[in-house]
Structure 1
């Protein structure tokens, strides 16, 4: 299970690495929990001017062949509490839709989604997508339900083994479930439990229905 930025690792494994092809049938399942857009979160936290300055500075370093150089904390505002290279920062923050790690932005072009969510198919890995309805790192202007539906539609068209019945928005859930009610936590655990029950029994998901494979 990937949480927040960890969801990028899950996607990298499922749709890009050669190992994902080799792991066909060996990976029991994958869960994306709170897969927020770092780009949209950064713009919200830093403010437009500081955000624009940061990704443009990273782009400049990359073009100068200095992509592995550590970004100044004066520019990144120490957002990640750890050193960050220009390449990594740009991969998360570029608004040009060319960031390698920008999987979950609300304005992601369809061709990018086809190359990510649409490329999970070969591994046939069971997948559960859970987005927090009250995620504080998602701008209020983002229609979370519509965004997640776009991802699910791509998965559906490509026959990705997604648990459509349990994937979706967890209403009232914050990014890491801090200060959530018991009902919200129960909703989350219920979805995960139902997913794991099918996966553990060797089942799969077809059009939102549970089926044996």
Structure 2
């Protein structure tokens, strides 16, 4: 719960696993443990919560947005990330959105953008953060693009972010192609029928990845040039120029070389060269880095390198 006192006086305790002091929670089998402040930024958005791990003196915020089927504490390396960026003067902010965890198939990128704006405005106005950098993992990378498109249209300075870190920004369409089977194909066909009937918000009868999906969201993820289709390797330079035009802040893309959701890694590497040239036309600074690791950088040695790379990028904002 958030204290009624000044948020500046509240600070995070060390992030540890409650069982044995293991920061990743891997030995005990339990998940990670972090201490901080839980806040509801706006009563009008009851599903939106933020969890802030910070210390007195932090003037910058790293806002972490998880991917599809994920949410707060979905990655064992989050405590290590929080400790690393704290040394740069960054608070680590995790969020619960209407699309978090099992609700991912019932929401949209546009809804995420509206809810993230509530969080960013809270960080600026209530926590008085001078800089806000958004980090998105997997589908969270699409949230960053969608968010920038949303706030660039509003022109509200309180909603602006200063930079973006896009982790494992891969194609959901191509990832879904790896989910071979009659069930997935049947559900896509059923989603198309619902949309043709004028029922885009109709809920599909079977779950995908353990989650219920509306017809509109499943097609957004699986169809070429759907709302979620931002990082597919068959997108042309012209298409990318339109899709990624909102990326007008310094950007860092980090990929895992052993990403299990990438059908063709060589094709992805070629695609990122084109993507980088497109992003550099608008962003003042852009970089793409490939590191050892899977989609979630689950191994400790891989997450350590990923965190170090992210911190190098963040140093320029903390200066």
Deviation at residue 200 of structure 1 after TM alignment = 1.9
Residue 249 (structure 2) pairs with residue 129 (structure 1): no
The structure with the larger Rg is 2
Deviation at residue 191 of structure 1 after TM alignment = 1.2
Partner of 1:28: 162
* Partners of 1:39 and 1:93 within 8 A in 2: yes
Deviation at residue 51 of structure 1 after TM alignment = 4.1
Q: Which of the pair is proportionally richer in helix?
A: 1
- Structure 2 stretches lacking a partner, 5+ long: 1-134
Deviation at residue 7 of structure 1 after TM alignment = 1.4
Which is bigger in relative contact order (C-alpha 8 A, separation at least 6)? 1
- Structure 1 stretches lacking a partner, 5+ long: 202-213
Of 278, 282, 290 in structure 2, the residue corresponding to residue 169 of structure 1 is 290
Q: Deviations over 1:13-37 (max 9, x none)?
A: 1234545643489413211111121
CA distance in 2 between counterparts of 1:81 and 1:144 reads 27
CA distance in 2 between counterparts of 1:15 and 1:26 reads 11
Deviation at residue 161 of structure 1 after TM alignment = 2.6
CA distance in 2 between counterparts of 1:71 and 1:148 reads 34
Q: Deviations over 1:129-183 (max 9, x none)?
A: 1111111011136522112112111012x2313332xx2212x2101112x362x
CA distance in 1 between counterparts of 2:270 and 2:204 reads 34
CA distance in 1 between counterparts of 2:265 and 2:307 reads 28
CA distance in 2 between counterparts of 1:160 and 1:20 reads 19
* Shift in CA distance, 189/168, structure 1 to aligned 2, threshold 3 Å: same
For 1:91, what is the secondary structure of its paired residue? helix
* Shift in CA distance, 114/163, structure 1 to aligned 2, threshold 3 Å: closer
CA distance in 1 between counterparts of 2:309 and 2:219 reads 34
Partner of 2:227: 100
CA distance in 2 between counterparts of 1:57 and 1:88 reads 13
